[in-house]
Chains A and B, each alone.
Chain A
Amino acid sequence: MTVATSPQVVAPKPRLQPTGWLRYFSFSVDHKVIGLQYLVCGFIFYLIGGLLAGAIRTELVSPMSDFMARDVYNQVLTMHGTIMIFLWIVPVVNGAFGNYLIPFYVGARDMAFPRLNAVAFWLIPPAGLLLITSYFLTGAAQSGWTAYPPLSITTPAAGQIVWILSVLLLGGSSIFGGINFIATILKLRRPGLKLMQLPMYCWAMLGTSLLVVLSTPVLAGTLVLLSFDIIAHTGFFNPTLGGNVVVYQHLFWFYSHPAVYIMVLPAFGLVSEILPVHARKPLFGYTTMVYSIMAIVFLGLIVWAHHMFTSGTPPWMRLFFTIATAFIAVPTGIKFFNWLATLWGGRISLNSALLFSCGFIVNFVLGGITGVALAQVPFDIHVHDTYFVVAHFHYIVFGGSVFVIFASVYHWYPKFTGRMLNENLGRLHFALTFIGFNLCFGPQHWLGLNGMPRRVAEYDPQFTLINQISSAGALLMAISTLPFLWNVIQSAIAGPPAGDNPWNALTPEWLTSSPPPVENWTGEAPLVEEPYGYGVPVEDFDLTAISGRDLWSSGK
């Protein structure tokens, strides 16, 4: 297999791939096209998942089950969780930004396996459609994104089987993506580029992909066994047939705790790219960041049973998993302080990208604190399966990962499209999202501490007011999407031209045109030895010279 060579030497072969907007609907093997396919496809699923969330919060405005029937509520809840995790956050923080950025960062013209890459993406739309149409055809699964047996064995089988099929496809997509990232980062670095010179997002994606490759197959195997229980009436996880439900939980969380890192580690990486650029300072503590990521990968694989403290786990197991979980706070804390130190004393421009990044830091630390609290057995037994847990993980997956996705869109949109977004709309988007988010999920801590269980359509009337406040926050978040949508659509058509490097950034994706040419650079890929070399005032750089091919033709 040879990779296409530079146009200087050989005339480019006529491309069989469509160009223009059509290529976004094609089996394109260009990593940038695939990245944007992931991003837009993920965002569409985000809107669908958001509508479902709206339905949930509408139901919870009143204590009675009056907006939808109870079993419909369960289906909506299950689809919401599954879509948000497997069709929005995982594909976007990994697939979208990973595909777009990693080849630039390693100085390659594409991913290691471009066709596998396209296959990985094209597994996603059918899997998502399968999941959603199951609601209309057979009724969707009702057992939550965790699909715990015996619930998943006793609820209607058709929906559950479709759910399993869909998650298997998405898991496969994720594994193919992970293999590609590992090979690209380890094998495709341009000559002269050392591992410890890579932008931090590469490290985050390397760690994440290791988790994907090691843990996703376990989920796949488990779901196959679960489907046997449903279809063939085996009894792996069916207590009435002598099976063991707790084994399902172990296997499920062996994937799904790492999965929370699969959702958040890439976000750590993206934030580490964004902060230095807009604070004009080098990333603080590069080496400690790298080791922290690897420590999180390792520890992330051995803490899963902190989700099972109420499942009859023996005392030694509780002790081990509490301690291991507490340890994970250490590398996470290191990263947190590194970000603060990066901002400290920087020349910060408070634009939308930086605002969303700062929002991430605030929300994430709150979610981290409740996480450490949840890892303490006596506390967890009290609040397990209550809204406290819902609040905890939304602070992390929404307040963390989704905030970072928005920060990244504001940061890289000029590169994607060659046009700038409107800053005022961006700040409005941030303000609405930040307020709405905290209004929606902050009060849920209180609900959980006071005993409101999660995953129920009806609740004790004493919780009505707080639930209404939470729903108001959800409404605000829904409204906050409007300025964003308007902004990305209208700026794509009429935004001011961005130029190659509007942020004066130093990472390689900015050292080419916006949007970049098909094979990323017209000429050699630049060797960026210090991606965060922002120590010197901007005026001292001739940044206008380092764009596209000027960089290597200027005879520097």
Chain B
Amino acid sequence: MTTLPIETDEHHSDHHHDEEHPDHRLFGLATFLVADGMTFAGFFAAYLTFKAVNPLPTGAVYELELPLPILNTVLLLVSSATFHQAGKALHQNATNRCRNWLLITAALGLAFLVSQMVEYFTLPFGLTDNLFASTFYAATGFHGLHVTLGALMILIVWWQTRPQSGRVTHNNPFPLEAAELYWHFVDGIWVILFVILYLI
């Protein structure tokens, strides 16, 4: 009788059931963010191609000012740092500090959205004015949607870190970690967007 190319791995079965099932949710989220990033990549590729081959029609206006977007960039970069502080605080089981940092992060995010709105209303072109205007609004709008969702997530996490809630704690940091990963992603996208839409 030939031995089968199959093993039963006896010794392992003894402790398998006691061990915690490892958490793959952050991995799943990271994979999702790769996908999400590809959507932005598509928008950016479209924008750059338009720029390369479609001349701006005569009389059309497409001009961007730098001050507000620079402020926006700073707001988001700082908010990434404050979120990181919140994560660190939770890690050290300093819930109150964590909640304060979360609030600051959310405030920075909301400030970004307000500033983005101000930019929208002061720009000399509208959504349907020309190809570049449309692409600009599509890309920044899609990003703004992400910031809005992210800010909501932060506020929810903030709510869940209340001591009496106990949903997000030192021992169960997943919601905070997920929101943090997402937030860093959204910030990273903004930096690319800033370079492509405003600087190039």
Contact = CB atoms under 8 A, between A and B. Distances in A.
B38 A215 contact: yes
A247 B31 contact: no
Interface stretch (B93-101, B104-112, B126-134, B180-188): B126-134
A179 B31 CA distance: 6
Nearest to A248: B46
A247 B38 contact: no
A540 B46 CA distance: 62
Interface stretch (A36-44, A186-194, A426-434, A440-448): A186-194
Contact of A251 (B5, B17, B35, B45): B45
B28 interface: yes
B182 to A, nearest CB: 14
Secondary structure of the B contact surface, majority rule: helix
A244 B53 contact: yes
Interface stretch (A11-19, A400-408, A409-417, A527-535): A527-535
Interface residues of B, number: 50
B13 A251 contact: no
A178 B36 CA distance: 13
B34 interface: yes
Contacts of B13: 523-524, 552
B168 to A, nearest CB: 15
B65 interface: no
B42 A217 contact: yes
A218 B127 contact: no
Contacts, number: 159
B4 interface: yes
A313 to B, nearest CB: 12
Contacts of A540: 1-2
Nearest to B23: A1
B80 interface: no
B54 interface: yes
A234 B126 CA distance: 10
Given A221-B40, A524-B12, 16 more contacts: A5-B17, A10-B17, A183-B27, A183-B28, A213-B31, A213-B34, A221-B43, A224-B138, A225-B138, A241-B128, A242-B57, A244-B54, A511-B6, A528-B5, A529-B6, A533-B5
The 8 nearest A-B residue pairs measured at CB? A530-B5, A533-B5, A218-B42, A552-B8, A234-B134, A217-B39, A217-B38, A221-B39
9 contacts: A6-B17, A9-B17, A218-B39, A228-B134, A235-B131, A235-B134, A241-B128, A250-B49, A533-B5
Interface of B: 1-10, 12-13, 16-17, 20-25, 27-28, 31-32, 34-43, 45-46, 49-50, 53-54, 57, 60, 127-128, 130-131, 134-135, 138, 142
